[in-house]
């Protein structure tokens, strides 16, 4: 398949590389020419604009920051909609408001372009390994056309429902991960402040009902003081804001989500926005007057 890719950042670059490894013919576009270089070196071709890219591919993937960026790529002066050929399927794999995804999909549909919202979970490690979880909203025919490309980038691929359903699933994912990261950081900080080895506490908890992937993976990164970004805190702040905006629109009570959203606001406000979301532990340490690293007995 001829595939175009826009958004060659921390997640997008390895995702695009996996499409090349899967045997697809890849073309890319980026605002900064240097962002395209690793893909060009691996065998991709470059396009002059999103419109130029849309005119030469069967499937076009975007992986950008937020809804305004998606709209600019799709409908800007040299956007996808200006050059789309018949039968194009546009797939946005960014994380944006479900309502925004539905609106963008409807506008593209009126111009003859099929649209899928297909946000992902799994972080940069999943993007590199091609093991992402991909949550898809949109029509059956468009999903069937895009599925071979999804298979190059992810292991769990679920067609959740109609337009916007993928973004609803991703928002639910971010509720669980955002609240989960906060809960794990609270538990380990509680253990440390109580004078008990948090590593042993985590080991004990992994054997019971509190066990989770977040406790296993994110908890270990907290113990290791590994705050190198796989998913930056400002990105989780943005995603929790999507949850709270959607909850407002729906008239929903989301108390745990609201607490996590405020904590991510505090992380960004206190200078931790560029660190991984597991740096939530650092914020709690500051608030709790825990000085230095978590005390470990081994």
Q: What is the pLDDT of residues 187-199, one digit of tens each?
A: 999 999 999 999 9
% of the chain residues with pLDDT over 70:
97
Phi, psi of 207 (to 5 degrees): -90, 0
The class (CATH top level) of 168-288 is: mainly alpha
Name the residue among 232, 209, 206, 204 with its Cα closest to residue 217: 206
What average pLDDT does range 90-110 have in this prediction?
A: 97
Type and span of the H or E element at 129: helix 123-129
Q: What is the value of pTM for the model shown?
A: 0.92
pLDDT of residue 144: 98
pLDDT of residue 215: 98
Phi, psi of 99 (to 5 degrees): -65, -40
Query: pLDDT-based confidence at 294, cuts 50/70/90?
Result: low
What are the catalytic residues? 170
What average pLDDT does range 213-234 have in this prediction?
A: 95
Answer whether residue 293 shows pLDDT above 80.
no
pLDDT of residue 262: 98
- Domain chopping of the chain, boundaries: 2-162, 168-288
Q: 88, 98 in Cβ contact below 8 A?
A: no
Query: Under CATH, which number does the domain 2-162 receive?
Result: 3.40.50.720
Name the residue among 141, 163, 159 with its Cα closest to residue 150: 159
Q: Sort 151 into a burial class: Cβ within 10 Å, 0-12 / 13-18 / 19+.
A: middle
pLDDT of residue 86: 87
Q: What is the mean pLDDT of the chain?
A: 95
Answer whether residue 296 shows pLDDT above 60.
no
For the segment 249-290, what is each residue's pLDDT rounded down to a tens digit?
Answer: 999 999 999 999 999 999 999 999 999 999 999 999 999 886
Question: How crowded is residue 115: how many other Cβ atoms within 10 Å of its Cβ?
Answer: 25
Question: How crowded is residue 209: how many other Cβ atoms within 10 Å of its Cβ?
Answer: 6
The tokens for 281 are 């532990």
pLDDT of residue 227: 96
% of the chain residues with pLDDT over 90:
92
Rg (CA), the chain: 20
What average pLDDT does range 123-148 have in this prediction?
A: 96
More confident: 293 or 8 = 8
Q: Do domains 2-162 and 168-288 have the same CATH topology?
A: no
pLDDT of residue 298: 35
Phi, psi of 2 (to 5 degrees): -90, 120
pLDDT of residue 292: 53
Name the residue among 152, 153, 172 with its Cα closest to residue 161: 172
For the segment 15-62, what is each residue's pLDDT rounded down to a tens digit?
Answer: 999 999 999 999 999 989 899 999 999 999 999 999 999 999 999 999
């Amino acid at each position: 398949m001829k595939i175009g890719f826009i958004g060659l950042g921390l997640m997008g670059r390895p995702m695009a590389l996996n499409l090349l490894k899967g045997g697809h013919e890849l073309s890319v576009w980026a605002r900064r020419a240097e962002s395209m270089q690793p893909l060009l070196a691996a065998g991709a071709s470059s396009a002059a604009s999103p419109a130029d890219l849309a005119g030469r591919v069967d499937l076009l993937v975007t992986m950008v920051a937020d809804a305004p960026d998606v709209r600019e790529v799709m409908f800007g002066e040299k956007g996808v909609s200006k050059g789309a050929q018949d039968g194009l399927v546009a797939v946005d794999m960014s994380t944006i408001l479900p309502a925004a995804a539905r609106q963008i999909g409807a506008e593209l549909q009126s111009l003859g372009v099929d649209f899928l919202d297909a946000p992902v979970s799994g972080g940069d490690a999943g993007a590199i390994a091609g093991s992402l979880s991909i949550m898809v909203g949109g029509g059956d025919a468009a999903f069937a056309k895009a599925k071979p490309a999804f298979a190059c980038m992810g292991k769990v691929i679920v067609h959740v429902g109609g337009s916007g359903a993928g973004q609803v699933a991703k928002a639910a994912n971010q509720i669980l991960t955002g609240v989960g990261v906060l809960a794990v950081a609270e538990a380990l900080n509680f253990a440390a402040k109580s004078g008990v080895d948090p590593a042993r506490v985590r080991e004990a908890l992994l054997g019971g009902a509190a066990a989770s992937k977040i406790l296993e993976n994110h908890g270990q990164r907290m113990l290791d003081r590994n705050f190198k970004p796989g998913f930056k805190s400002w990105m989780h702040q943005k995603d929790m804001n999507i949850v709270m905006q959607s909850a407002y629109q729906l008239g929903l009570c989301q108390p745990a989500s609201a607490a996590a959203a405020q904590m991510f606001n505090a992380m960004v406000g206190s200078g931790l926005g560029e660190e991984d979301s597991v740096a939530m532990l650092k914020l709690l340490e500051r608030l709790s007057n825990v000085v230095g690293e978590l005390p470990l007995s081994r």
